[in-house]
Structure 1
């Protein structure tokens, strides 16, 4: 009987639980300061992670009878263009809930940042559309080829607001501006620090854009663009 590698089995169980938990938050189907190295792929503007979306039983969007400034207060930046975009999306997709969307988007942000640092291509692939995944995977391979390893902690996500929204045909696009504190360090094969600092917490401002075909029964939103603003 082959010997069982207990640590590997335990790690696999934990990984499966994390993946299941993330999918339950994201509403995904089972079938389906120094930015440095950490944010390298995030600077490539076009680039897709699955973002959480409103579940079928999520609270409905704000009543259209309210003024736009009140209707989207607390979830979107004060911009008439953003409000009109959200109105269009909410009218076309009655299940859309900006609160649920933002809540899940924070989870997606956390998971993508950690998966990238860990070099977990499988996790990223399940969360991202091909173009964005290719950017992240390329950075992961470059890091591995250099013999570097990375450790990142999302200390906090201080804010997440909708910065833009639009409905183009049947495709809804929503950009979220994240303000987060990250601690990241990259080491070479000998353990020497080559980027970041073990105990340094750095403020980051990132703009991620999610898209979804509102005709699809799949509730998945995909991250279609990422940009590091700071």
Structure 2
């Protein structure tokens, strides 16, 4: 009985020693792996890809194995985009003319400026402003005009309302919208546009009598409007800062 007990204790001691050795082995291995990972993680090898630059040309980023439908495209400018904008300038103003040079200078100062998109925006703004003025829509005007121009429009609307006059207008369309001048002054870009439009407009007094314009015939209206934008601002919108009518 005694010999059996001693044999059991001896085997137990042997097993415990073996288990301690295995535990120590794994502990040492874990430390070595940790040190190896630590030597790699957080250390630059010179092969890392730079972070995406939102201001450079468009770049597609996707996870390995992802299909093209799940690609996230970041907005970037590239040489092709710059060439396209320059081509638009050349289509609007002859090369080597003062207007062409001033538009090219505007492109360099304002990376978001696209001549054709600007012209399309001017056409929409022109119709909105003309109709808002006729309707006395101060809220719309305030968002599209500089403070000085808004004050002038608002004063004219107030005087008209005080006399009990009503303006009835129908916007027919725009025949032409041509950039005539462009400049960058300090941080402000200014672009002047000559707009030829077709409009039916009549002013009636409080009794409904026609006092100005024509309720049926379409009239050609020529306006020279100047728009401005702070090129440092994130706000992409332009505002009307000056108006002039061409007789």
Aligned to 1:151: 168
Match of 1:41 in 2: none
1:114 is aligned, of 117, 125, 131, to: 131
Q: Deviations over 1:29-48 (max 9, x none)?
A: xxxxxxxxxxxxxxxxxxxx
Output one character per residue of 1:55-75: Cα deviation in whole Å (capped at 9) or x when no partner: x789945458x7xxx652443
SS at match of 1:200: coil
Residue 93 of structure 1 deviates from its aligned partner by 1.5
Trace 1:85-100 onto structure 2 (pairs within 5 A): 85-100=102-117
Match of 1:43 in 2: none
1:210 aligned onto 2:227: yes
1:72 alignment partner, SS class: helix
2: distance between equivalents of 1:79 and 1:198?
46
DSSP-derived class of the 2:103 partner: helix
Distance 2:76 2:145 in 1: 25
Unaligned stretches of 5+ residues in structure 2:
1-74
- Find the aligned partners of 2:194 and 2:222 in 1 and give their Cα distance: 7
Contact 2:173 2:198 survives alignment (8 Å): yes
**Partner residue, 2:70:** none
Task: Call closer, same or farther: CA 1:177–1:76 in 2, change over 3 Å.
Answer: farther
With over 3 angstroms needed to count, the CA separation of the structure-2 counterparts of 1:197 and 1:77, relative to structure 1, is farther
Deviations, residues 62-115 of structure 1 (Å, cap 9, x unaligned): 458x7xxx6524434788221111111101122210000000100000000000
Instruction: Return structure 1 stretches of 4+ with deviation > 3 angstroms.
Output: 56-64, 76-79
Q: Residues of 2 paired with 1:75 and 1:102: CA distance? A: 10
Query: Which TM-score applies when normalising by structure 1?
Result: 0.68
Selected match of 2:239 from 209, 222, 230: 222
Question: Which entry has the higher C-alpha Rg, 1 or 2?
Answer: 2
How many pairs does the alignment contain? 171
CA contact (8 A) 1:164 1:176 kept: yes
Task: Give the TM-score of the pair, scaled to structure 2.
Answer: 0.64
- Cα distance between partner residues in 1 of 2:133 and 2:96: 32
Please give the secondary structure, in 2, of the residue aligned with 1:89.
Answer: helix
Correspondence 1:49-128 to 2 at 5 A: 60-62=81-83, 72-76=89-93, 80-128=97-145
What SS is found at the alignment partner of 1:215? coil
Contact persistence 1:61–1:98 (CA under 8 A): no
* Partner residue, 1:175: 192
User: Which whole-Å deviations, capped at 9, do the CAs of 1:108-139 have from their partners, x for residues lacking one?
Assistant: 00000000000111111121111000010011
Cα distance in 1 for partners of 2:96, 2:155 equals: 36
More helix by share: 2
Rounded to whole Å, the distance in 1 between the matches of 2:112 and 2:123 is 19
Give the match's secondary structure for 1:125.
helix
